[in-house]
Structure 1
């Protein structure tokens, strides 16, 4: 091969490497399993990591993850330190976002935030709630009026582990958190399945996690198409990580074995067994 041809080939390879699109997603330094968490080496992992890696593989872009404390994540997006923020929602931190034109993806995964109580307290009216355990930075939607009136006292914790401990010790009457995450923690990490249960009769909030950006709405459109075109693979990831487990049923917040047992009982009753 002639030297000029070698140089041309080398230039083409270098040009392709340089032209690869590379973006940084800002993510939370938070144990939020099964949605996401940070391992001992500081690496982002969980459902969200696999989802974004799959998007990168199918879209020909390069993605890296910048792990930041929750309170630093939005400022990092607004100042351009990261290209994207996950998770995010148009309804979050509206005062901080005032005057900024952010773009949001379609919903990535649905969630329910609500009250977890001891089983014997399930079904009691909200008036019986006097002390409520919270993780710093969370907002207990539906309870603010009673909080402002001094009828509910908030006890803040640094993380889920500390908050759950308070509720299990009955230092508080309940804990407000993401139901799937709290249930996963109780079932798999704390090894206390059923010690706290979601109370669907108390105020709770349904929503979706979104990917947001200030400067790259075009890539969000590609991400939205990916969610549609790769729906089967995304659904498989959600099922494997159980990030939306039973969200649309009356069994939300129950361990899966209990759900299966109840369904078998309902089937037997329906068949006269």
Structure 2
């Protein structure tokens, strides 16, 4: 009887006592990286981690323009994606704790294939998602040399670059390639290595739950084969080329 009660208690607790966390995510279709609540690289990665620890993640899509205030306004437990690269003037940055890199990506300048090789000063219009930071172009935007063109639709920006309405975009290449494939325009746009680019990472951030963050770090370190399979499944940019 005692064994039965113990088994019942453990089973009951595994269902009822599972920790539930709210993860703030960007309210935008940025496939294959993320498109909550739909399947994507980010969702599959976070779901796999949560399942491995018996957690439940509730994803809360929030406005990209208010990224700096998510922790204060919505009392989220985690934010993904996040990055130390995006700290900027965020009022809570001193309290933030970041995971190890969950995935490494390319921040580059995407142009029409036939327009590669231009100088920075020749890029007069740069397209980006509304609320995203054109980190590597801030000097030319501030000087008035380069005009920032923003849209809530990554597809809209990709089309504008493809059809010559704007000169370039800083949208992540795997997202660009996804939309090009939908339009049957593979290889129509490329990262121009003559223009600024760098490797950066998506990270999980938190203020309160550093213990969970450490578990996430261990999950990342212990599941490299899974992460590589996930990268290939969603056709993410191979950073080894850069």
Question: Which range, TM-score by smaller chain?
Answer: 0.7 to 0.9
CA RMSD of aligned residues (A): 2.5
Distance 1:192 1:100, change over 3 A: same
Q: What is aligned with 1:153?
A: 147
SS in 2 for 1:222: helix
Question: What's the offset of the Cα at 1:216?
Answer: 0.3
Mark the runs of 5 or more structure 1 residues left unpaired by the alignment.
251-273
Supply the distance in 2 between the matched residues of 1:22 and 1:137 (Cα, whole angstroms): 28
Question: What's the offset of the Cα at 1:93?
Answer: 3.9
Question: What's the offset of the Cα at 1:103?
Answer: 0.9
**Contact 1:44 / 1:67 at 8 angstroms: preserved in 2?**
no
Pair 1:219 & 2:217 matched = no
Pair 1:34 & 2:32 matched = yes
Supply the distance in 1 between the matched residues of 2:210 and 2:234 (Cα, whole angstroms): 28
Distance 1:15 1:193, change over 3 A: closer
Question: What's the offset of the Cα at 1:232?
Answer: 1.5
Pair 1:200 & 2:198 matched = no
**Contact 2:136 / 2:196 at 8 angstroms: preserved in 1?**
yes
Question: What's the offset of the Cα at 1:217?
Answer: 0.5
Mark the runs of 5 or more structure 2 residues left unpaired by the alignment.
none
Q: What is aligned with 1:50?
A: 44
Q: What is aligned with 1:143?
A: 137
Residue-pair matches, total: 242
Distance 1:15 1:196, change over 3 A: closer
**Contact 1:110 / 1:206 at 8 angstroms: preserved in 2?**
yes
Q: What is aligned with 1:268?
A: none
**Contact 2:34 / 2:40 at 8 angstroms: preserved in 1?**
yes
Pair 1:22 & 2:20 matched = yes
Higher relative contact order (CA 8 A, sep 6+): 2
Pair 1:104 & 2:98 matched = yes
Question: What's the offset of the Cα at 1:241?
Answer: 1.4
Within-5 A mapping of 1:178-193: 178-187=172-181, 189-193=182-186
Supply the distance in 1 between the matched residues of 2:125 and 2:112 (Cα, whole angstroms): 13
Distance 1:119 1:64, change over 3 A: same
Question: What's the offset of the Cα at 1:28?
Answer: 1.4
Supply the distance in 1 between the matched residues of 2:60 and 2:14 (Cα, whole angstroms): 25
**Contact 2:23 / 2:59 at 8 angstroms: preserved in 1?**
yes
Supply the distance in 1 between the matched residues of 2:93 and 2:221 (Cα, whole angstroms): 31
Bigger-Rg structure (1/2): 1
Question: What's the offset of the Cα at 1:183?
Answer: 1.8
Distance 1:120 1:61, change over 3 A: same
Question: What's the offset of the Cα at 1:16?
Answer: 4.9
